[in-house]
A and B are shown apart, each in its own frame.
Chain A
Amino acid sequence: MNMTASPDPCLLRFYEEQHSLEDYQGEVPRWCTGCGDNAILTVMQRLCRDHNLRPEKTVFVSGIGCSSRLPHYMGTYGFHGIHGRALPVAEGIKMARPDLDVFVITGDGDCCSIGTAHWIHAVRYNMNLTVVLHDNHVYGLTKKQASPTSPRGLKSNTTPRGAYLDALNPLTVTLGIQNVSFVAQAVDWIPEALYEILNAAFLHKGLSFVRVIQRCSEYLPKLFDPWLHDPGRITLVTHARGLAVSDGLAKVYKNRLEHDPADIDRAREIASVEDPIPVGILYRNPEVPCYEDLRLSGGLRTAAMVRAGLEAEFDRFTVWPDEAKNLPERGGDLSDANGSDT
């Protein structure tokens, strides 16, 4: 065997670990033409490539709905679970495997309706997850029912005379939860800002919550037209520590707001404005501790450790035979073995 002809294993490894966009592509997307999910998928794949994420160490977790099909279209690991439960699944993955990069893909029905409890608590846990809320203001997969973010008056199959209630604002809700650490908003039709915002979300340590306002070309094709056609109805929220705006973007979107994402009160004010739509990073606090860091010692768990721990517990509850009476840890207490303390 000619040794000189074989490549250096380290170089080979380095070469192999350079990933291209194709490495992040899974099945061919089956979303409708013009669906905003496509834009988010494209940005996600670019993001993975630009960070050269190892596909085998990356997991996209989703619930149920149009947007939740996204993991199938990635070339990474994916978990397409049950309606509303993407967040606790992702938390379990992250707790078991903090070495994995975990993304959560959820929709306005999935996150803000059936999975609301998990949304609130996921923000509070602040695990290191990148959560993308695909908010198209309607249920698509079940064919046009009003969602919690549907604007009042929206006609749908369950609200033929118009939605009765004001829409829930996912941003203000998230900004009201203890331990919130990253909140941003993007729209599917400004890919550059979408990329920059998702990139910042990915880099943030903690739960980053990004609401992407997204078009449903099938059921609400014209809902966002006024905003799409009038850049003045978008407010770019910019800051040195927030969204940076390129010259190209600046030319089109002249309505800009300088906002320090450390300021939560101002973030809440900006978040509560629905028209013009604020786009940018509203809040960021890298100091909030992550639940997995609070819970995991990070130490290696060995069989010896489990054995020692178990034997120590056995000792507490052991009744020794007479000849073993002089063993150090004599325990055995039924009141200990019992949860109640009355």
Chain B
Amino acid sequence: MNDVTALEPESANSGPAPRRAKPVVELAESIVEIVSDSGEGAQRCGQSLGSVAAKSGNGVWTVEIIPAEIQPPARSVAGASGNRVRIGSRPITNGGDEADLVVAFNEQVLLGRVRAGELKAGCIVLLESMWREDRDDKIAASYAATCDQLVKAGYRVHEIPMDRECRRLVADPHRGKNMFALGMLCNIYSLDRTVAQEQIAITFRKKDRKIVESNTKLFDAGWQWAEDNLDFRFAIPAVRSQVPQLVINGNTALALGVLASGMEICAMYPITPATSVSHYLSEVFERVGGVIHQAEDEIAACTFAIGASYAGKCAVTVTSGPGYSLKQEAIGLAVMAEIPLVVINVQRGGPSTGQPTKAEQGDLLAAIYGSHGDAPKVVMAPSSIEDCFYSVITARKIAELFNTVVVILSDANLATGQQPFVRPEFRDDWLAPPVDQSAVPEGAKPYDWDAVTGLSRRFVPGQPGGMHTLTGLAHDRRSHVAYDPLLNEEGLRRRSQKLAALQKTLKLPEPFGGDSGDLLVIGWGSTKGAIEEAVGRLRAEGLKVSSLHLQFLQPTASGLKEVMARFGRVMTVESNWSDDPDDELIDADNRRYSALATMLRARYLVDVDCWTEVRGRPIKPGILADILRARLKP
């Protein structure tokens, strides 16, 4: 457990700075990480810091640092749990590059972050110092050695007796150290103390009043300790928004989207990292007459939702990769029988069990082409927290209008990332209309497909005259099993036509940057913020690069080919696997491209290249900028 690693020596900036009057250094932005063993509250500290900064008017993006296990061994390199908070003067759209400052409750979890390359050279480290005097000699030695190496490597290490200071106020500093750390951070970043204290009251509002008081005391102690003992202080100027803003993570946004869409039934089976959508819905859905059903398995969740949709109330099922695989046959049924259905897939690392808590965009092709046979369905991907909210409303409408399946591809990055956005204003037309119970005109058929759009009016139980038996078998317009080969082909044609009909209504997003240039970067989903930040930096250097972020992946809006034609080169940037063209055996004949690149190459006959990273973490704009810069070299 006490792993001491040799660290590359960096700049020679070692030793504490001399004590002097504290200047407040103004920063445009800063990336802070708080890491601890699981259960020590680093996540809550980070979330609270993000809330306070957001309330102060700063741009904020948070990324959870989650170990795969609930209780990994204490003081382990792989066990780091916490939060990354990127705070800026202007809106922040992604987790950014390496951290500027890190608070660590032990040196092992800190090492985990160092090794993952998450800390900037010369990063400020606020490290719990209690381990130096640990009764276990090995721990004390490990701590001392790590500290020395970090200092040698150029990190600005401040050993802080957090445990000792907290012990003055509470018996068990294990619970509460996080608020001490929050106090330090609020002091360091000159954040409003009153806002922070209000935040503590909100955070612990479900708990006893005494807990709020003791946490406030811990916060004050941390604030004062930093004020008295640290020789630096920063300020990140903020502009408070003139309109109300929501501060939530992507999964909460999806859940609120379910509420706002007017859907009444959500069926799910627990799976990381999608489950918190259901946790939140379980808390609030019933208050608006909704039901969240925890089914016995993923297949039951999907078929339960299909049953509800069939009966007239479009339903949603929420899952992640492995669950999405299990639902495939049922999704095909909904496509075949033209039952509206919304499927939310909060993607994680795959294949198989993969990386449950880590972000990946590996399910795009499964979403577009999944289920056996030709099963055309709509696939959309939110690219921000705000998008998560609105995409569910849109998905429900499309599902019901086109009697089809709409898949929403979020991912672990959006699931736990948090970013303020303008509070939505409720609209009645978000909600589903009441279930149609009017009589069906005599002679009307349940699949009376329009010859052009493939659309037909669906009959739901309760409608007199509409009785028919829906089937997953090939069927004719009356829903009778079709043995005729031409009838089978007609069904396939009509279901495909619906996608074309939807496609005619889609608008291509505006490229970010310029309309033409040397390189166009195409992305989808959670990578938008990082891609646009990288593109922005390169444009500031004078490079002719732009980006385009697709919201609809199936179908794709018209005009994409024309946009691609205006650029010298086109590539996608994605968090899924693609072969490295420099690998020994990889050549033009066997190179496997990333998911979107594969799809675009096939659809548009354009030589779309790709760059991907599958490290289970959000793509860093700095790394991406370096990649793109290299690609732009003549």
Contact = CB atoms under 8 A, between A and B. Distances in A.
Interface of A: 26-27, 54-61, 71-72, 74-82, 85, 87-97, 99-100, 117-118, 120-121, 295-297, 299, 301, 303, 305-314, 317-322, 324, 330-342
B375 to A, nearest CB: 13
A311 B245 CA distance: 13
Contacts of B66: 340
10 contacts: A27-B480, A79-B307, A81-B471, A85-B303, A117-B300, A303-B431, A309-B288, A335-B43, A339-B276, A342-B43
A93 B308 CA distance: 5
Contacts of B280: 339
Contact of A79 (B203, B286, B470): B470
Interface of B: 38-44, 47-48, 50-51, 54-55, 62, 64, 66, 81, 198-199, 202-203, 240-249, 251-252, 256, 259-260, 262, 264-265, 267, 275-276, 279-280, 284, 286-289, 291, 293, 295-297, 299-301, 303-313, 315, 329-330, 333, 337, 416, 418, 420, 423-424, 426, 428, 431, 435, 461-473, 480-481
Q: Count chain B CB atoms within 10 A of each CB in A56, A57, A307, A331 and give the residue with the most.
A: A56
Among A59, A95, A309, residue most surrounded by chain B Cβ atoms (within 10 Å):
A95
A305 B426 CA distance: 12
A88 B300 contact: yes
A338 B469 contact: no
Given A76-B467, A92-B303, 5 more contacts: A92-B267, A308-B288, A310-B260, A332-B55, A338-B418
B312 A117 contact: no
A307 B55 CA distance: 25
Q: Which of A121, A296, A339 has the most CB of B within 10 A?
A: A339
A314 B303 CA distance: 31
A334 B62 contact: yes
Contact of B203 (A96, A303, A309, A335): A335
Given A93-B311, A95-B291, A322 B296 contact: no
B244 A318 contact: yes
Contacts of B47: 333-335, 337-338
A59 B462 CA distance: 9
Contacts, number: 265
Contacts of A334: 47-48, 50-51, 54, 62, 247-249, 418
Contact of B311 (A97, A319, A341): A97
A310 B307 contact: no
Contacts of B420: 319
A109 B480 CA distance: 24
Contacts of A78: 467-470
B192 to A, nearest CB: 12
A40 B198 CA distance: 67
A306 B198 CA distance: 29
A100 B246 contact: no
Contacts of B297: 117
Nearest to B357: A340
A58 B464 CA distance: 11
B470 A80 contact: yes
Nearest to A23: B467
Contacts of A95: 265, 291, 293, 304, 307-308
B612 to A, nearest CB: 28
B48 A301 contact: no
A307 B429 CA distance: 11
Contacts of B423: 314, 318
A280 to B, nearest CB: 30
- Of listed A85, A88, A94, A337, residue having the most chain B CB within 10 A: A337
A81 B333 contact: yes
B244 A121 contact: no
A37 B307 CA distance: 24
A6 to B, nearest CB: 19
Contacts of B466: 56, 77
Scoring A27, A303, A308, A331 by chain B CB atoms within 10 A of each residue's CB, the highest score goes to: A303
Contacts of B242: 321
Contacts of A81: 303, 306, 333, 337, 470-472
Contact of A295 (B246, B291, B329, B471): B291
A311 B462 CA distance: 33
A309 B287 CA distance: 7
A296 B243 CA distance: 37
Contacts of B50: 334
Given A82-B333, A97-B312, A332-B247, A321 B240 contact: yes
A141 to B, nearest CB: 12
Contact of B296 (A58, A99, A120): A120
Q: A61, A90, A333, A334 — which one has the most chain B CB atoms within 10 A of its CB?
A: A334
Contacts of A310: 256, 259-260, 288, 426
Contacts of A324: 244
A245 to B, nearest CB: 35
Contacts of A55: 467
Contacts of A93: 307-308, 310-311, 461
Contact of A88 (B54, B252, B295, B313): B295
A74 B62 CA distance: 56
Nearest to A74: B469
A312 B259 CA distance: 12
A321 B426 CA distance: 19
A333 B311 contact: no
Nearest 10 A/B pairs, CB to CB: A92-B307, A339-B276, A78-B469, A301-B289, A309-B288, A96-B308, A334-B47, A121-B296, A92-B304, A89-B307
Contact of B43 (A57, A75, A340): A340
Contact of B202 (A94, A307, A313, A331): A331
B482 to A, nearest CB: 12
